[in-house]
């Protein structure tokens, strides 16, 4: 059994999983995109007497059709030499990405997850729409660049409104010397209202702030599911639990109905792995917030002792069933 992990041993998730996979008898190869343009050769032939699908490199050639599964973990970015004209480098990167995307889509293997499906999953508005269609409760949501609409929404929600970024890549654009880098989920406060004219510069995502009992992180790995209850209201992360990992976290048993909705959404998005964020309200309502197709899970495993790495490895070697093939 051969498994390809698109990451490196510098990634603790890839390192931990590759070590366990090898004890389970799998042959594991690792590959990152920064090798592809300058340090590799690619050969892909179709419609010939000798079809080929191979990446050649010093660390060992990769016959891409020989893998049972590929884990699109943290592949990194394409890197090119510095050309005289910057547009040439961008063109080279674009062609390299198109080549790999096309090759990957043509492979008959188990993906965790297919890159094209990962890309589509990053659309938070589509996530919310699908989740609602599948029966999840979702927060009242407004996307607008009209300041007057935000004021109206604020009044309708009795001032209980949060703001979050829509694009995962938007955080990357914030300068590294800004502290903190990126924007977490923030409350829209009454003292912010005089500055609503700034909303006109770009569409913004606002949601009604749900009163929580707990936050839930739900990790789906194929047909296995692991839920963690986060006592976010006991610490500094009342709105965004990521601000405080010191609060109590423990394994949590989801009602079967909610588990099935988590599986249905993950499957509908074409994923074999997904990390869902839910809210459990004081009256025991489950509210869907979002799903991350490449969310970290080692922190969950270390705190709660839930065997998520083992589930990942079982999926990658065919000892458990994928949601999508």
Give the model confidence (pLDDT) of 243-278 as tens digits.
899 999 999 999 999 999 999 999 999 999 999 999
Say what angle helices 12-23 and 308-317 make with each other, to 10 degrees.
60
CATH of the domain at 167: 3.30.1490
CA atoms of 123 and 214, how far apart (whole Å): 25
Do the domain assignments include residue 234? yes
Same-domain status, 29 and 59? yes
Which pLDDT value is given to residue 35? 86
Do the domain assignments include residue 132? no
My answer on whether omega of the bond before 180 falls inside 30° of 0, hence cis, is yes
Same-domain status, 14 and 85? yes
Q: What is the DSSP string of 265-281?
A: HHHHTT-SEEEEEEEEE
Same-domain status, 198 and 224? no
From 192, 208, 224, the end of a domain falls on: 208
Q: What is the largest CA-CA distance in the chain?
A: 70
What are the structure tokens assigned to 79, written together?
A: 């890197």
Find the domain containing 200 and state its range: 140-208
Same-domain status, 37 and 14? yes
Same-domain status, 194 and 266? no
Domain count, the chain: 3
Judged by DSSP in three states, 9 sits in coil
pLDDT digits (tens, 9 = 90+) for 283-294: 999 999 999 999
CATH of the domain at 303: 3.30.470.20
How far apart, in Å, are the Cα atoms of 132 and each of 98, 139, 175, 261, 271?
33, 10, 35, 10, 18
Same-domain status, 286 and 255? yes
From 161, 193, 208, the end of a domain falls on: 208
How far apart, in Å, are the Cα atoms of 19 and each of 4, 166, 176, 316?
13, 36, 33, 13
Do the domain assignments include residue 69? yes
Do the domain assignments include residue 78? yes
Same-domain status, 202 and 222? no
What sign results for the dihedral spanned by CA atoms 100, 106, 107, 110? positive
Same-domain status, 164 and 242? no
CB 279 within 8 A of CB 126: no
Same-domain status, 204 and 217? no
CA atoms of 316 and 200, how far apart (whole Å): 46
Do the domain assignments include residue 8? yes
Which pLDDT value is given to residue 184? 83
What are the structure tokens assigned to 213, written together?
A: 């009992």
Which pLDDT value is given to residue 176? 58
Same-domain status, 196 and 216? no
Same-domain status, 89 and 160? no
pLDDT digits (tens, 9 = 90+) for 176-208: 554 445 578 999 999 999 999 999 999 999 999
Same-domain status, 220 and 307? yes
Do the domain assignments include residue 114? no
Q: Which residue stretches of the chain are H helix?
A: 12-23, 36-39, 86-106, 115-121, 124-133, 147-156, 170-173, 256-268, 298-304, 308-317
Do the domain assignments include residue 74? yes
What are the structure tokens assigned to 315, written together?
A: 């999926």
Give the residue ranges of the chain where pLDDT is below 70.
171-182
From 149, 175, 208, the end of a domain falls on: 208
Do the domain assignments include residue 133? no
């Amino acid at each position: 059994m051969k498994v390809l992990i698109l990451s490196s041993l510098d990634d603790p998730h890839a390192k931990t999983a590759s070590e366990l996979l090898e004890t389970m008898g799998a042959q594991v190869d690792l590959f990152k995109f920064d090798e592809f343009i300058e340090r590799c050769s690619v050969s892909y032939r179709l419609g010939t007497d000798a079809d080929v699908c191979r990446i050649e490199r010093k660390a060992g050639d990769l016959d891409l059709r020989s893998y049972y599964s590929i884990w699109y973990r943290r592949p990194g970015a394409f890197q090119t030499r510095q050309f005289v004209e910057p547009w040439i480098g961008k063109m080279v990167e674009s062609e390299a990405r198109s080549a790999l995307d096309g090759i990957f889509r043509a492979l008959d293997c188990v993906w965790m997850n297919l890159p094209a499906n990962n890309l589509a999953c990053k659309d938070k508005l589509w996530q919310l729409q699908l989740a609602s269609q599948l029966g999840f409760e979702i927060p009242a949501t407004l996307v607008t660049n009209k300041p007057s609409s935000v004021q109206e929404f604020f009044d309708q929600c009795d001032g209980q409104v949060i703001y979050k970024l829509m694009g995962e890549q938007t955080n990357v654009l914030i300068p590294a010397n800004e502290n903190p880098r990126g924007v977490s989920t923030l409350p829209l406060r009454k003292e912010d209202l005089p500055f609503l004219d700034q909303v006109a510069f770009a569409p913004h995502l606002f949601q009604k702030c749900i009163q929580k009992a707990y936050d839930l992180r739900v990790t789906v790995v194929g047909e296995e599911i692991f839920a963690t209850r986060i006592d976010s209201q006991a610490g500094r992360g009342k709105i965004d639990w990521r601000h405080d990992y010191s609060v109590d976290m423990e394994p949590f048993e989801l009602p079967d109905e909610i588990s099935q909705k988590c599986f249905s959404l993950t499957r509908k998005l074409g994923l074999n792995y997904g990390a869902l964020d839910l809210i459990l309200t004081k009256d025991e309502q489950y509210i869907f917030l979002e799903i991350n197709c490449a969310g970290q899970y080692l922190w969950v495993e270390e705190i709660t002792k839930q065997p998520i790495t083992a589930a990942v490895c079982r999926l990658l070697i065919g000892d458990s069933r994928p949601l999508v093939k």
